[in-house]
């Protein structure tokens, strides 16, 4: 809103200077100087922060650490902020002119509330406020009772005599008396519900079986008559007309530039086989039988 008003003021001022200035060439330049001067004067108005009341909170509990504890803040009855007080100390800036309620909670501890009223006289916000620290500690709940405080335990507000924020002593005295009554009238702690007993499963019904009176039965086994031994078959060895194998071998060597080829023709009982060995000058050796690759051992065995 402030920026909009300044822009509108800038436009209106430029138009007025252009109309009233006799020298039209120098008018825009003078108008810019004038507007820059006005913006510098009003810069504090644009960027100034609203005054606040800064308070330092110290929060501790009677037993254990601050884990699972919580600080809930409302402003004028509406949710304002929630803090996890694991560090123990906090600096909080509160806007002026409002009622803040701080609620300090932790499981198995007595909840406490503190009121902070930031209403001040007009003009007091121009000066800084003194540093303020509030210590809040939570007590353990009794083992057999539940204590609930009927009102906040303290109130902080502006003190016209000291000219700064301070605890309301009259309220503190009243709250202390109320705390004593609340502890005396504490309600008994509700007992934990007894779990339902487990149902007992019914016992299985066992049917009694009367004893049996079996009648013996005589079973006659047939007499065993062994079979007569069978005659052993006579094995007649086949007569094989064995002829020794006739093996003929013809060797031929072909020499090329860098290749030596040895061809051996082996004929066994009218079947002819071609064995070939290729020797290269660079060390390569390859063996073939009828054009197929074979190992050196097969080549030497078949051509011996």
Question: Which pLDDT score, from 0 to 100, does residue 159 have?
Answer: 94
Q: Provide the β-strand partners of residue 93.
A: 54
Domain with 296, as residue range(s), is 247-302
Please indicate, yes or no, if residue 10 is contained in any of the structural domains: no
Please indicate, yes or no, if residue 80 is contained in any of the structural domains: yes
Dump pLDDT digits (tens) for 213-237: 888 888 888 888 888 888 888 888 7
Dump pLDDT digits (tens) for 59-102: 888 877 888 899 999 999 999 999 888 765 778 999 999 999 99
Look up the pTM and report it.
0.50
Dump pLDDT digits (tens) for 105-137: 999 999 999 999 999 999 998 888 998 999 999
Mean pLDDT of 250-256: 88
* Alpha helices (runs of H) in 128-284, residue ranges in sequence order: 169-184
138 and 266 part of one domain: no
Please indicate, yes or no, if residue 195 is contained in any of the structural domains: no
Please indicate, yes or no, if residue 226 is contained in any of the structural domains: no
Pairing verdict, β 52-61 and 132-138: parallel
Please indicate, yes or no, if residue 203 is contained in any of the structural domains: no
Task: Name residues whose C-beta falls within 8 Å of residue 103's C-beta, 6 or more positions apart in sequence.
Answer: 71, 72, 73, 74, 111, 112, 113
56 and 177 part of one domain: yes
Q: Which residue has the higher pLDDT, 43 or 159?
A: 159
174 and 268 part of one domain: no
143 and 271 part of one domain: no
Task: Name residues whose C-beta falls within 8 Å of residue 34's C-beta, 6 or more positions apart in sequence.
Answer: 13, 17
Q: What's the structural domain count of the chain?
A: 2
Please indicate, yes or no, if residue 2 is contained in any of the structural domains: no
Dump pLDDT digits (tens) for 145-165: 999 999 999 999 999 999 999
């Amino acid at each position: 809103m402030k920026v909009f008003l300044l822009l509108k003021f800038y436009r209106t001022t430029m138009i007025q200077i252009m109309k009233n200035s006799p020298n039209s060439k120098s008018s825009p330049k003078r108008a810019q100087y004038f507007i820059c001067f006005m913006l510098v004067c009003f810069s504090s108005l644009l960027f100034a922060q609203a005054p606040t009341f800064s308070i330092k909170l110290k929060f501790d509990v009677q037993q254990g650490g601050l884990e699972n504890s919580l600080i809930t803040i409302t402003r004028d009855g509406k949710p304002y902020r929630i803090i996890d007080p694991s560090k123990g100390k906090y600096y909080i800036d509160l806007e002026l002119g409002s009622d803040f309620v701080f609620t300090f909670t932790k499981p198995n501890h007595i909840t406490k509330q503190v009121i902070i009223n930031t209403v001040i006289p007009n003009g007091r916000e121009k000066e800084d406020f003194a540093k303020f620290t509030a210590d809040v500690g939570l007590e353990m709940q009794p083992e057999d009772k539940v204590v609930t405080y009927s009102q906040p335990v303290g109130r902080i507000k502006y003190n016209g005599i000291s000219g700064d924020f301070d605890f309301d002593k009259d309220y503190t005295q009243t709250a202390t008396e109320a705390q004593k009554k609340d502890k005396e009238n504490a309600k008994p702690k509700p007992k934990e519900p007894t779990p339902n007993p487990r149902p007992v499963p019914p016992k299985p019904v066992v049917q009694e079986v009367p004893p049996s009176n079996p009648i013996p039965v005589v079973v006659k086994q047939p007499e065993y008559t062994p079979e007569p031994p069978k005659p052993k078959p006579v094995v007649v060895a086949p007569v094989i007309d064995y002829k020794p194998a006739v093996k003929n071998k013809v060797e031929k060597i072909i020499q090329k530039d860098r290749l030596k080829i040895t061809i051996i023709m082996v004929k066994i009982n009218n079947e002819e086989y071609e064995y070939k060995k290729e020797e290269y000058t660079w060390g390569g050796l390859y063996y073939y039988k009828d054009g197929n690759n074979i190992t050196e051992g097969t080549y030497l065995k078949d051509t011996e």
